[in-house]
Amino acid sequence: MKTKIDLFDIEMAEFTPVIETIKDYYGFDMSGYGSASLRRRFIRLMEQFNYDSVFELNHAIINQEISYQKIVNYMTVNVTEMFRFPPFFRSLKDEVIPYLKTFPVFKIWHAGCSTGEEMYSLAILLHEAGILHRAKIYGSDINSEVLEIAKQGIYKMNNLKEFTKNYQESGGTEPFSSYYTANYDMIKMDPMLSEQMTFCTHNLVHDGPFNEFQLILCRNVLIYFDIDQKTKIISLFDKSLCPTGYVGLGSKDRMITNGDDLEYSTVNQLTKIYRKETIGIRA
Amino acid sequence: MESEHKIWLIGGSAGSIKACISILKAITKPMDRTLIMILHRGNDYKSELAEIFSNATGHTVMDIGHQTKLEKGVYIAPQDYHLLLDETFNTCLELSEKVNYSRPSIDVTFESFSYILKDSLNVAILSGSNADGAFGVSKVLQRGGRAIVIHPEDAEFKTMPSETIKQNEGKCSVLKINELIQCIKKENT
Ligand SMILES: C[S@@+](CC[C@H](N)C(=O)[O-])C[C@H]1O[C@@H](n2cnc3c(N)ncnc32)[C@H](O)[C@@H]1O
Put simply, the answer to whether A77 touches B96 (Cβ < 8 Å) is yes
A254: chain B residues, CB-CB within 8 Å: 66
Which of A200-214, A232-246, A254-268 is predicted with the least confidence, judged by mean pLDDT? A254-268
Name the residue with higher pLDDT: A208 or A260: A208
**What is the band of B7 on the pLDDT scale with cuts at 50, 70, 90?**
very high
Is the per-residue pLDDT at A262 higher than 80?
A: no
**B102 assigned to some structural domain:** yes
Q: Using CB atoms and an 8 Å cut-off, which of residues 77-106 of chain B contact chain A?
A: 78, 81, 84-88, 92-97
A86: chain B residues, CB-CB within 8 Å: 45
pLDDT at B188 (0 to 100): 57
* pLDDT, tens digit, 9 for 90 and up, residues B91-147: 999 988 899 999 999 999 999 999 999 999 999 999 999 999 999 999 999 999 999
Is the per-residue pLDDT at B1 higher than 60?
A: no
% of chain B surpassing 90 pLDDT: 76
* pLDDT, tens digit, 9 for 90 and up, residues A186-208: 999 999 999 999 999 999 988 88
Is the per-residue pLDDT at A215 higher than 50?
A: yes
Amino acid at A19: I
What would the mean pLDDT of B64-80 be, rounded to a whole number? 90
Of A34, A79, A253, the CB nearest to B86: A34
Amino acid at B166: K
DSSP string computed for B37-89: EEE---S-TT--HHHHHHHHHSS-EEE--TT-B--SEEEEPPTTSEEEE-TTS
Distance from CA of A78 to the nearest CA of B (A): 7
Q: Tell which one of A81, A121, A221 to mutate to probe ligand 1, the residue whose CB is within 8 A of the most ligand atoms.
A: A221
**B1 assigned to some structural domain:** no
Put simply, the answer to whether A40 touches B84 (Cβ < 8 Å) is yes
pLDDT at A4 (0 to 100): 62
pLDDT at A259 (0 to 100): 54
What would the mean pLDDT of A88-105 be, rounded to a whole number? 97
pLDDT at B44 (0 to 100): 52
**B39 assigned to some structural domain:** yes
Name the residue with higher pLDDT: B19 or B29: B19
Is the per-residue pLDDT at A134 higher than 50?
A: yes
- Domain-wise residue ranges, chain A: 4-75, 86-276
- Total tally of structural domains belonging to chain B: 1
Q: Tell which one of A76, A79, A148, A230 to mutate to probe ligand 1, the residue whose CB is within 8 A of the most ligand atoms.
A: A76
**B160 assigned to some structural domain:** yes
Parent domain of B175:
7-187
B164, containing H or E segment: helix B159-167
What would the mean pLDDT of B39-46 be, rounded to a whole number? 68
Distance separating alpha carbons of residues A254 and A231, to the nearest angstrom: 11
Is the per-residue pLDDT at B187 higher than 80?
A: no
Which residue has the least CA distance to atom 26 on ligand 1?
A78
pLDDT at B169 (0 to 100): 92
B34, containing H or E segment: strand B34-39
**B165 assigned to some structural domain:** yes
pLDDT at B47 (0 to 100): 62
* pLDDT, tens digit, 9 for 90 and up, residues B135-179: 999 999 999 999 999 999 999 999 999 999 999 999 999 999 999
Of B45, B115, B116, the CB nearest to A85: B45
pTM, two decimal places: 0.87
pLDDT at A260 (0 to 100): 52
pLDDT at B2 (0 to 100): 44
What would the mean pLDDT of A172-179 be, rounded to a whole number? 96
pLDDT at A282 (0 to 100): 41
Q: Does domain A86-276 have CATH number 3.90.1150.10?
A: no
Q: Using CB atoms and an 8 Å cut-off, which of residues 17-36 of chain B contact chain A?
A: none
* pLDDT, tens digit, 9 for 90 and up, residues A56-78: 999 999 999 999 989 998 888 89
Name the residue with higher pLDDT: A136 or B32: A136
**What is the band of A1 on the pLDDT scale with cuts at 50, 70, 90?**
very low
DSSP string computed for chain A: ---S--GGGS-GGGGHHHHHHHHHHH----TTB-HHHHHHHHHHHHHHHT--SHHHHHHHHHTTSS-HHHHHHHHS-----TTSSHHHHHHIIIIIHHHHTTSSSEEEEEET-TTSHHHHHHHHHHHHTT-GGGEEEEEEES-HHHHHHHHHTEEEGGGHHHHHHHHHHTT--S-GGGGEEEETTEEEE-HHHHTTEEEEE--TTT----S-EEEEEE-SSGGGB-HHHHHHHHHHHHHTEEEEEEEEE-TT------TTS--EEEEETTTTEEEE--HHHH-
CATH code of the domain containing B173? 3.40.50.180
What would the mean pLDDT of A267-279 be, rounded to a whole number? 88
